[in-house]
Structures are given as structure tokens and as C-alpha cells.
Structure 1
Amino acid sequence: MSSSPRGSPRVLVVDDEDDLRDLLEITLLKMGLDVDGAADLARARALLAAHDYDLVLTDMRLPDGLGLELVREIGAAGRNLPVAVVTAFGSAENAVVALKAGAFDYVTKPVQLDQLRLMVQSALKLAAPAGPAAPRAEPVDSRLKGQSAAMQALRAQIARLARSMAPIAITGESGSGKELAAREIHAQGARADKPFIAVNCGAIPEALMEAEFFGYRKGAFTGAADERDGFFQAANGGTLMLDEVADLPLAMQVKLLRAIQERRVRKIGATAEEPVDVRIVSATHQDLARCVEQGRFRQDLFYRLNVIELSLPPLRDRLDDLPVLIDAILVRLSAAGGQPAVLGPGVLDALRGYSFPGNVRELENILERALAFSNDGVIDAADLALKGAKRVEAPAAAVPALSAAASAAVPAAPAPLPDAALSMPAGAQAGERSGERMPPLPDLSVLPSNLPAYLERVEREILLRALAQTQYNRTQAAQLLGISFRQLRYQMQKLGIQEPEG
């Protein structure tokens, strides 16, 4: 066979069926590629030793062995060479095995030439000269922040996964960044210039799922005034992320399995299927294997989606990344709020002592809430309001020293309120200053008939006592109660507490 012009990408086709090998070679030559053919593993190995290739396309079953041997040998040699396999129709298990072994992608017999061309184009975008694979540097604009060992290993794994079309199942706790990881895989892969569509499977009503995933024809049902594409068509050529995939009902799991295996979908109301080319990335915080055991998730779909598993570390296992994450979050919050946001003394130590059950998403929420309570954009440890965390005092060195004159004018810091103060008559502490007589707190052994009014009364009582003990110095009262000045001011306004005149 004639070959295309010198310098074109070169492809090796390995298949013992002469007719199929000729068909593949002709198709690739028409795409402007150089093509070599081999009928068995021995000839393929000889050609691989003699030439540099940009893609290998091999059948699964060959006279002297399996195409999987070729996949593993090329992977073990560390060559940046995509390998795609040709599997028999309906042999989904073989395709999964090949992808797990390191194959770039697969096509099924009878070969659909349009799908073959799409696969070859994707593979050639990733092709590189043969040789040892150089480690990929972290992208400057990486979505996954942090330099801990866990994050460096995660980014290295993502760089490898981006070179494959194998389905990926991302696991991790809520808020750990599963969608960010999926977007990073997409951005580093051959489909980066194509759509990335993220779908929350738990947010779609069951009755609308088929229409949302596969689309519908005009008039297919009441209200279908126009033809509409589904998620698969919208992601065609790119990546479809199925977030919270464990929430899919069983009936939809069957239809999704067929669409993934056959790479074809049928719109509601249509009579023919249409090909789609999407890479599937799924994510869930649930244990899919346990869902299979419980009968809530199909085992065949589990094996189809879980070809490669990518596990994200929780934030509590990479607390060294906190400074980087906090800086990135504060930059975003500062841009949105129009004022700079910085951490005060002791804040980082307080955050390091917290377990972050909600991971990075919770960190973002904590900082956003703390910024709202902060003074002039300076977040104090008390602004964090961390539940179950040890209170961290600001280091004394961080407090600027006062002159002798200024020190004399500032009252000494108040001592904490004793427990007995919560039950003693209020007049002894605050009556003279506030001018209002405050009754003692209600007996806690008696259940209140109006809980909101009871809690408001308790909160008002405590605030008044703290203010009276500090002679209405609100800064010291806030320190006494372990809250920020802004929080104290907000509570005083809410409860209508006014500072007495004079």
C-alpha cells in the first residue's frame, strides 16, 4: 500500500483479519497518516523496535497471543504511545480489561468508521515521540491547590489519567473537590477544547431523567414544542461528569449502561440511535461497592464506570496545604467584597486544630462567614466560630506594645465571668450602670414554653452582665465572651441594647 507524505503521524495496525486490516489502513491513509500493518504480535514487536509510532491500533485476539500483551509491554516501557484495542461486539468485559491494562481507548466490531476517526484524532493530540515519559509539571493555573505529598501524588495521577479515555470513578468525602479533579482531567486531556458537562444525578426528577440525558424529538410528549439535545449530545466530543451517580434510580442505570457501552443514544420519540463520543467521569461520596451489595446499584454499571478509581484525600489529611488554600480563597473573597481580607494572629493555628468534616467547601464557608463578622477585613480567631475546635489565643507578641501614658488610660483586661455570675442577681453587677433591673436567669430545670423568647432572654442577660462588668467597654466585653467586636455589636443591635448616656 502507498503511504502518505513524509512527516505525517505514523500508525501501526495489528490485526490477523486481512479484510479488516485493509479497511483500517485505507481509512487512516485517507486521514493523511502513514500506516504500517502487522498480522501478529511478533511482526508488531519488530516494527515497534524499528520505528517510532504515534498510535497503535491492535485487535484483542491474535494468532500468537493477545493484544493486551502489547498494551502492557508499551506501558511498561514508559513510552508516550497511545494504544487502542479492537474488541468484538458485545464484549464489554474485554474493553474494560483493556482500559484497566492501560489502553487509551477501544473500538468495537463491526468498526464504525466515524467513531474510529474521532478516536484517532483524540489519540494523535496526545501522541509524543517515543522515549521515557517526562514527568509533567504542575499547570500554573491548576485548580487543585497545595504542595503536600498527597496533592502532588494526586496531580501526577491525574496527568497520567488525562492521557486515556478510560472511564474514571472519583471518590472522596463531600467538599473534597471531586468536580475540580474532573475538570482538571478534562483540561489536561485531548478533549480540553471540547465541552465539559457536569450533571448532578441526585437533582434531576426521575420522570425527567431520560429526556435530560438523551434529549427528545419535537412532539414526543406533551410540552415537547421543540427538539432538544440531552447531556450526552451536549458533551459530544468532550467529557460528561456524572456527579452523585449513586443516586441514579435502577431504571435509569440500565439505559445509561447501554449508552456508555454502545456509544449511541436514542432521543425520546426517535426511531434511530445517534452516535456520541463522550468520556465518562463519575463521582460520589458514597461507597459504590456497598451500594452494589445492597442492590441499589447495578454491578455491570459499576464495573463500567469504575475502570479507574481516583480517590481524593480529605482536608484533615493535608493540613499543610491550608496556607495555600486560604490565600486562594481570600483572594477570591477580597475581589468579590471589594476590600482586602487577611488573617489575624492565631487564626491559622485555630484552623489547623479543626477536623473539617466538610473539607475545602467548609473552609470556604468558614472564611466567608468570618469575613462578614471581621473588623476592616481582619479575621480574628473568634470570627471563625469553629464548632468543637479548641480555642486558640492570639500570641502576646502579635499585640503591639502601648506607651506608658496609653497603658494608664486603658482599663485592665477583665477576668472571665465566673459560673456563679450566671445565676446571681443582675443588679449587683449591672444595676447601677445600666439603670435597669435584670431578673436572674430562669431555672434551667424547668422547660420553657417559648424557646425563642427564653433564648433571647438568656442572651440579653449575659450580654448586659458582660457590658456592666467591663463598664460598657465593648471591646473588652467581646473578649470576655470569646466573640468578635463585630459579633457583639450585631447582637446588641438585634436585642436593642443601648449604651447608657454619660
Structure 2
Amino acid sequence: MTTQTALIVDDEPDIRDLLEITLTRMGITALTAPDLSTARKLLTDHACQLCLTDMNLPDGNGIELVQWIQEHASATPVAVITAYGNMDTAIESLKAGAFDFVSKPVELPRLRELVNSALKLSPPKPDQDEAVDEPGLLLGDSPQIRKLRTQTRKLARSQAPVFISGESGSGKELVARMIHLQGPRRDGPFIAVNCGAIPSELMESEFFGHKKGSFTGAVENKEGLFRSANGGTLFLDEVADLPLAMQVKLLRAIQEKAVRPVGDTKEVPVDIRVLSATHKNLPELVQEGSFRQDLFYRINVIELGVPPLRERCDDVELLSGHILERIAREYECPAAELTPAALKQLKAYDFPGNVRELENILERAYTLCDADRIDADDLHLGNGMRAPDAAPGPGAQALPQEGDRIAVPEGEIDLEGYLESIERQTIEKALEATRWNKTAAAKRLGISFRALRYRLKKLGME
């Protein structure tokens, strides 16, 4: 087994000795340097799998070394040792390309976590142009998507908080998942949470957990999202929707790398990487006072923009083929193909809902087309009009026309549920009448077999 080597850069002999002893006990060969010039020479002469550097050095500072390593030894992750509580310096080092940071006085358990994470990084391949994607993640051959894949690979080698910006449906969660899968935390959990979907009164408990009996309804201990993500990545989607009171608590948890469960008196350390996203304009919200500036700077150490689909229309054909194959597998039907006219119309479309909208358009068209070919008319995009944001849900009906008479039951009704129950009953009758022959039932209902499969899946009747 090859021995791994780390470089320790600090002008204080006692700290160099402490770090060297710690790394040696971990089975790591430690080289030491008291200043920048010695560090540069050692990095030139030796292949190091990690560099730990103090911020203040006799002939410069740690950020200068981070920048030098980025240029001359980019395969070596570097962590900066900062003064206690100096978050500005820590953030500056992360922006310069540091893998992570640790504060003085150095806590050895935290140091060991950092070292183990850094040593899990595999050296980047200089000829690696194509992304190491999970199937279906960040598909495309356009320059924009190639650049995005390159950026995610680079960011995966850091522990810096990343803010992912982009329009709704553009694939922000896929980008977050790709950063996680390509980094040293890939074997840990990836926990995604929609911040706007949690009721404000339950937020603290959901994020930080609670102790049994801490409030009415707390019948057992709850771990919370932060501790569930321990050793992995926590993705905060729609982070702009967090109320101000929760923003304060979130900032503290991120800075202290610890959480205090509701009803507990002690903080619990957590080892997570935080990625966040929103389709809203966070700088504008900061100016308005609805989003804390200190939290914005903490989560927005590095910003990564996801391009909208209309800016990479060359990817529409590839994405469409992948989506149609997936839909066919789900419905257990033959795959459909786009006609040249349909593809031309899709490429010319603006896609305000981005990739999610493309999926919905194709799913709807797949259920309506004939002979496994989707033509332009099956897309129902209209003359430049925006397509509906979602495929028709269960019980979808034609829109009423002028002069139609509609009987509306008195009192409050659940229209969606009411229409769904009618559709469910109608399908059940058709299936019973044909002895559960789906092909015959579809013919009886006046729809295609594929459309029947779509409705059965949506209604959970498969």
C-alpha cells in the first residue's frame, strides 16, 4: 500500500510538531515547512496528497500558497488554518481554491475528519473532458453544459459552500447531486430539502432535530436534516424562502458546524457540506432586507449558474430522446420518436419551465400521439404560446367553451378529487367490461393503449 504524504506549513514549531504527530499516527508521512519558500520547494520536489498551511507566515500568507498550489500542483488539496472566529479569512481562502479550513486552536477530531476527506479525492485527469455523470444527470453536448460539467468537477474537489442559481426546472438539484457524487463525500448521504415546503413552526425541529418530550407531539427523539446528512451533503433548495428567524439559526449551525436539537442543552457536532439554490434573486432580497446579508455571504462563497434550456437548444434533441426512452420504460410501451417537424418546433420554443417543462410536454405528447411518432401537433405548443407547465393530471378535462353549461355542486368541493374519482370509476368499468384487457378497454374508452397506461400510472391503478 502506497504511503500518503502531507505537507504542514506553519512558523510555530509547537503546532508543526502537534500536526506531524497527529498525521503520523494516521499512517501519513508528514513533511514540514516554516515558510512559503520552503513549502514551494517541498511541493515541487514531492508529490503531496494534502497541504495544511497556517494563514500568517514570515514571507507571505496562506492564501498566496493556495493560489500557487492551484497553478502549480492543482491535484493537491490544501486546507488553511485560520484564527478562531475569523470567518472572513476562511471564506477568502475557500474562494481562492482551498479545499477546506480549520480554526485555531485546532481540534484534533475535526482535523482528522478534514484529512480523511481530502485523502479520498482522486487526482483529476487532465484529458477528462466528459463528465463522470450518473446516468441522466446533466445531459447535453452544448458548450454551456460542457462548461457546467467542468465547473462541477472542480467544485467537487472543494468543501466550499456553493450557491446554485438558475431558473425553475433548469436542473439545480441535479447539479448539486453531481457535485456530491464526484467529491470525497460521495459515499455519504445526499439530503435535499425544499425550504419553502416546511411549515415555519416545524422548521427548527426539521433541521436540527428534537428531544423526546421537548414539545407537544414530540413522542420520540428526532435526528433532523443536519444530522441525517452527517458525513455527506445537505442541499437547501429554495433557500430564499427561509424566514428571518430561521436564517439566524441556520447561519450559526453552518459556522459552528454543530446543531442544538430542540429541548437539548448541548450542541452536537456535524460534518456536512452545504449546497444551496433558489430561482429568486438573492442579492435583491438582501437589499430588501428579507434575506440576511451575513448568511448570503456564508452560503454564496462560490456561485454556480445553471443555464436555461433556451440558451442550449442544441441539447433539446438529446434530452428529448433520453426523456422519451425513460417514459417508455415507465409505461412499459414502445418508445416514440419525434418527427423532424416536432423537433424543429421544440428547438424554437422558449421553455419558460426549462427541462422540467420539456419532460411534461413530451409525457403529454407521448400519451396522445399515434404510431409511436410524435408530430408537431401532438406537442400542443401553439403559435409561440407558452406550453402548460405540467402534463394533464388525473381527471383533466377539456376547457369549457363559451355557451357551455356546467353544473356545479353546492358547497365546497375538492374539484381535483371529484374529477379523479369519476375518471377512476369510468376506467374501472371499462376494464371490468373487457375482463381487464387493457387494449380492449382503451378502445372502449376511445383512447390509445399508451394513454390508458398513462392514466393507470397517474391514478395508481396499475
TM-score in terms of structure 1 length: 0.75
For the pair 1:454 / 2:449, whether they are aligned, the reply is no
In structure 2, the partner of 1:235 is: 229
For the pair 1:138 / 2:131, whether they are aligned, the reply is yes
**Unpaired segments ≥5 residues, structure 2:** 387-398, 406-442, 448-462
User: Which AA in structure 2 matches 1:235?
Assistant: A
In structure 2, the partner of 1:380 is: 375
User: Which AA in structure 2 matches 1:54?
Assistant: Q
In structure 2, the partner of 1:106 is: 101
Question: Alpha carbon RMSD of aligned pairs, Å?
Answer: 2.2
In structure 2, the partner of 1:175 is: 169
Of 324, 347, 350, 1:352 maps to: 347
In structure 2, the partner of 1:42 is: 37
Q: How many residues matched? A: 396
In structure 2, the partner of 1:189 is: 183
Q: Deviations over 1:131-184 (max 9, x none)?
A: x94435322645000100111111111111111111000000000000001001
Q: Measured at CA, do residues 453 and 36 of structure 1 come closer, stay the same or move farther in structure 2, by a change above 3 Å?
A: closer
For the pair 1:371 / 2:401, whether they are aligned, the reply is no
In structure 1, the partner of 2:74 is: 79
In structure 1, the partner of 2:12 is: 17
The worse-fitting range, judged by mean Cα deviation, of 325-334 and 23-32 is: 23-32
Of 198, 211, 214, 2:192 maps to: 198
Does the 8 Å CA contact 1:216/1:267 hold for their aligned counterparts?
Answer: yes
For the pair 1:314 / 2:308, whether they are aligned, the reply is yes
Task: Tell me by how many angstroms 1:266 deviates.
Answer: 0.9
Distance 2:190 2:133 in 1: 20
Q: How does 1:269-308 map to 2 (within 5 A)?
A: 269-308=263-302
Distance 2:101 2:187 in 1: 21
Distance 1:65 1:54 in 2: 23
Does the 8 Å CA contact 1:339/1:377 hold for their aligned counterparts?
Answer: no
In structure 2, the partner of 1:333 is: 327
Greater C-alpha Rg: 1
Distance 1:140 1:252 in 2: 34
The worse-fitting range, judged by mean Cα deviation, of 140-149 and 278-287 is: 140-149
Q: Measured at CA, do residues 455 and 64 of structure 1 come closer, stay the same or move farther in structure 2, by a change above 3 Å?
A: farther
In structure 2, the partner of 1:92 is: 87
Q: Measured at CA, do residues 47 and 328 of structure 1 come closer, stay the same or move farther in structure 2, by a change above 3 Å?
A: same
Q: Measured at CA, do residues 119 and 225 of structure 1 come closer, stay the same or move farther in structure 2, by a change above 3 Å?
A: same
In structure 2, the partner of 1:257 is: 251
In structure 2, the partner of 1:245 is: 239
Of 49, 61, 66, 2:61 maps to: 66
Greater than 4 Å deviation, 4+ residue runs: none
Does the 8 Å CA contact 2:4/2:29 hold for their aligned counterparts?
Answer: yes
Task: Tell me by how many angstroms 1:50 deviates.
Answer: 2.1
2:102 partner SS: strand
Task: Tell me by how many angstroms 1:370 deviates.
Answer: 1.0
User: Which AA in structure 2 matches 1:218?
Assistant: K
Distance 1:136 1:375 in 2: 40
Does the 8 Å CA contact 2:51/2:79 hold for their aligned counterparts?
Answer: yes
Distance 1:453 1:84 in 2: 66
Does the 8 Å CA contact 1:347/1:379 hold for their aligned counterparts?
Answer: yes
Task: Tell me by how many angstroms 1:271 deviates.
Answer: 1.2
Distance 2:147 2:31 in 1: 37
Task: Tell me by how many angstroms 1:225 deviates.
Answer: 1.3
In structure 2, the partner of 1:53 is: 48
Does the 8 Å CA contact 1:9/1:53 hold for their aligned counterparts?
Answer: yes
The worse-fitting range, judged by mean Cα deviation, of 94-103 and 32-41 is: 32-41
Distance 2:374 2:403 in 1: 27
Task: Tell me by how many angstroms 1:187 deviates.
Answer: 0.6
Q: Deviations over 1:98-132 (max 9, x none)?
A: 00000000111121211111111111111539xx9
Q: Measured at CA, do residues 230 and 455 of structure 1 come closer, stay the same or move farther in structure 2, by a change above 3 Å?
A: farther
Does the 8 Å CA contact 2:130/2:146 hold for their aligned counterparts?
Answer: no
Task: Tell me by how many angstroms 1:223 deviates.
Answer: 1.3
Does the 8 Å CA contact 1:16/1:62 hold for their aligned counterparts?
Answer: yes
Q: Deviations over 1:226-265 (max 9, x none)?
A: 1111111011011000000000111111111111111011
Distance 1:186 1:246 in 2: 22
User: Which AA in structure 2 matches 1:110?
Assistant: P
User: Which AA in structure 2 matches 1:284?
Assistant: T
Distance 2:296 2:133 in 1: 34
Q: Measured at CA, do residues 321 and 254 of structure 1 come closer, stay the same or move farther in structure 2, by a change above 3 Å?
A: same
Task: Tell me by how many angstroms 1:346 deviates.
Answer: 1.1
In structure 2, the partner of 1:479 is: none
